Structure 1
Amino acid sequence: MSILTRLLTRQFLGRWLGALLALTILLQLLDLLDNATDVLARGGGGLGILRYTLLRMPSSAERLIPLAALIAAVLTFSRLASGSEAASLRALGVSGHRMVACLLPACFVVAVAQFGMTNFLVPATQRSYANWWASLPNAPAEEATRVWFRAGPDVASADRVRDGGRLLEGVTIIRRDASGHTLMRLDAAAARHGTEGWQLQDVRERGAGDAGPALRGSMAWPDAPTPRNLLAIAQPIDGVSLPQLRRILDGQEEGWRGTSFYRSQLQERAAALLSALVMVLLAFPVSRILPRRGGGGVSLGFAILAGLAFVALAGATGALGEAGLISPALAAWTAPVLFGCLGCVLMLHLEG
């Protein structure tokens, strides 16, 4: 690694960490202004506010990583331009392409950090937050919400999920054939998961066209999802870990949202790894500012507006993809490819 690469990498990462920390603290303070009263009302106390902040902070930081990369890139290139270092580097034959290439290790570090937070840290802290929030002493009683899910080829529902997903109350199972036609309906007072798997209790069976139900007592339920999967369906969170995402897409686990959401998530997480590089390309015109001639506000303003537009477009297309309105690949890669090409064109134009 060259001296220039080490210098730019250190400057970029230092500013990125500082910007990410500052933005995250600001967002958390705003969040606390809205929710500190609720934490205290639920009996969390002062330690509860601290725990609330720590559990919510990774989710806030993960969303702010691209903006922090934009700020870091703008400040890095601005520092090179204001000290005439960029002009000196060009005089020594260091092209803009090489300056951007010197920041590739820093972009890689940001991508690794984003990958780890999005796929592992954020889902874990969101699940911990959901469990803790529901277990506070003065938490209001949960309203009964019927949960629907697939159990093998069948469709099932439960009135309530208890005991960490190991007990279901008010279970209904719609048995279907290979064509999706209803064969029979099973109604059970409860379903419990034990050492022998799932057991339905007080089962009533109603076949298609039967006049009345037939009592079956108890019976095994081998096609039911795992207790952890049922708990995730009953208490859904926004974050999904990468292993869980793969299991849902492979049909090994049930999700709590449509298939298009998980397919888009997989594409978006791959595309998000390029966000830091895109921000560097969009901020490159700042390095061409000549302090003595002025006019730097145009380049600086363009870099900031282009970076914000990139984040906005990525969010908008991602929402369309998760809703199934456009293909997951188009939703995830439109913004990175479009703004990445824009940054490359500007760099080539400025280098020409």
Structure 2
Amino acid sequence: MNTFARYVLKSFLWQFLLLLTGFTALLQLFDLLNNSADILEDHMGQMSAVFEYAALRLPEIMSFLVPFAVLMAALVTLGKMERDNEIMAYKAAGAPYFTVLWAFLPAVGIVAILHFFLADRIVPLSIQALIQQDLSVERTKSKNEAKDEPLFVQEGKSVVEAGAVGQDGTVLSHLRIYERADSGKIIRQVFANDARYDAAAGLWHLSDVWTTVVPEGDAAQTKHTQNWDWQTQLTPAEFSDLVEKPQAMTLGKIWGFISSTQVGVRPTYFYETWLQKRIALPVSSILMILLAAPVAHSLHRRERGLAMGMTVGFGLGFLYFLTDGLVLSLGESGAVPPFLAAWLPILLFAAIGGAWLIKQEGY
């Protein structure tokens, strides 16, 4: 690493840490203002619950803001170097402008690696801790409501359908159990209005149960019982894991849903989209350098201040996140292929930034 690259590394990382800290504090303040009342009400006014919620929400907020902080830090660093004629002196020594961008790669590479580790390892743990401590925003605002997402789980020759899953998977509504013979034909069907897990006994207690037996070559027989204990190896974890957010899944778990080693409640293309998104995550930080470079360069030529550069940077960042969210939603719904859903915003804005920079440099 040459002297210029070390100078860029130091300047960029300092600006990045300052901006990430400031943006994270601001967004977390808004988050607490929006949700602290519900948390206090749900935990009998204990302020410790609010502090714990803030600490566990911090990784997810930071992960969301990293690309934006990279864009603004690169813009500030390049703008300062343009204003002090440092880039002009560097180019006067015979170095083309793109070598300035190459000097940013070590710094941005460090941020990209840390961002991937944060999103793939730390954020899932923090979200799971929020759920376990009953601090999740969704669960706090609708604590006793089940997630209306029917899902299927296979256990041996039986197929289990849960109409809705609630309270960390310990409560199932509209449960159906299809028991099959070796030939695959259904020989018994059990329908229960709801099922509750007894952790002490390790059993599921079913209520309002209708059991239909289909004998070979005979008429089906149906019997009703008010309560029935379901003997199974399935635990609440198998059901709660299926309805968790993609942000709470590691790369390995997402791959498990795609490769069918785990059973998911959503279509395969949904998990494929998030797999591609997780892989593309570090690249989004590198893209921000390509967006910041022409903005800073053009502002210097037009003799506009750094405030204008920050405004343009905010606009670019907002436009990128808007495009990214829109295309990701299309990928989750299957309207566009998973690869395009994850990579199209990066390729599109890379083309815009690259074309803008080439036009300015006159290549």
TM-score band w.r.t. shorter chain: 0.7 to 0.9
Residue 267 of structure 1 corresponds to 276
Aligned residue for 1:254, secondary structure, equals: coil
Contact 1:200 1:221 in 2 (8 A): no
Task: Give the direction of change, closer, same or farther, for the CA distance of 1:120–1:180 in structure 2 (3 Å limit).
Answer: farther
Residue 190 of structure 2 corresponds to 186
Match status 1:344 vs 2:351: no
For 1:58 and 1:268, the matched residues in 2 are separated by: 18
Residue among 231, 239, 246 paired with 1:230: 239
Match status 1:207 vs 2:235: no
Residue 31 of structure 1 corresponds to 31
Normalising by structure 2, what TM-score? Answer: 0.80
Residue 283 of structure 1 corresponds to 292
1:205-227 per-residue CA deviation (whole Å, 9 max, x = no partner) reads 433994432699878646x5x54
Residue 76 of structure 1 corresponds to 77
Task: Give the direction of change, closer, same or farther, for the CA distance of 1:44–1:52 in structure 2 (3 Å limit).
Answer: farther
Deviation at residue 140 of structure 1 after TM alignment: 8.1
Contact 2:178 2:186 in 1 (8 A): yes
For 1:159 and 1:115, the matched residues in 2 are separated by: 33
Q: Which one-letter code corresponds to 2:125 in the other structure? A: A
Deviation at residue 254 of structure 1 after TM alignment: 2.7
Aligned residue for 2:248, secondary structure, equals: coil
Residue 105 of structure 1 corresponds to 106
Task: Give the direction of change, closer, same or farther, for the CA distance of 1:102–1:180 in structure 2 (3 Å limit).
Answer: farther
For 2:257 and 2:272, the matched residues in 1 are separated by: 10
For 2:360 and 2:239, the matched residues in 1 are separated by: 56
Aligned residue for 1:157, secondary structure, equals: strand
Deviation at residue 130 of structure 1 after TM alignment: 1.8
1:271-326 per-residue CA deviation (whole Å, 9 max, x = no partner) reads 22111221111111244357696246776655543333222211110111012111
Residue 255 of structure 1 corresponds to 264
Task: Give the direction of change, closer, same or farther, for the CA distance of 1:210–1:104 in structure 2 (3 Å limit).
Answer: farther
Residue 66 of structure 2 corresponds to 65
Task: Give the direction of change, closer, same or farther, for the CA distance of 1:69–1:234 in structure 2 (3 Å limit).
Answer: closer
Deviation at residue 242 of structure 1 after TM alignment: 1.5
For 2:141 and 2:316, the matched residues in 1 are separated by: 44
Task: Give the direction of change, closer, same or farther, for the CA distance of 1:211–1:90 in structure 2 (3 Å limit).
Answer: same
1:65-110 per-residue CA deviation (whole Å, 9 max, x = no partner) reads 1110110010010010111111111111222111111111112112
Contact 1:148 1:155 in 2 (8 A): no
Deviation at residue 147 of structure 1 after TM alignment: 6.3
Stretch moving more, 30-39 or 229-238: 229-238
1:180-221 per-residue CA deviation (whole Å, 9 max, x = no partner) reads 986642246868799xx9889888343399443269987864
Contact 1:318 1:331 in 2 (8 A): yes
Match status 1:45 vs 2:46: yes
- Matched residue count: 348
Task: Give the direction of change, closer, same or farther, for the CA distance of 1:269–1:48 in structure 2 (3 Å limit).
Answer: same
Structure 1 unmatched ranges of 5 or more: none
Residue 13 of structure 1 corresponds to 13
Normalising by structure 1, what TM-score? Answer: 0.83
Task: Give the direction of change, closer, same or farther, for the CA distance of 1:54–1:44 in structure 2 (3 Å limit).
Answer: farther
Residue 318 of structure 1 corresponds to 328
For 1:227 and 1:156, the matched residues in 2 are separated by: 14
Task: Give the direction of change, closer, same or farther, for the CA distance of 1:187–1:61 in structure 2 (3 Å limit).
Answer: same
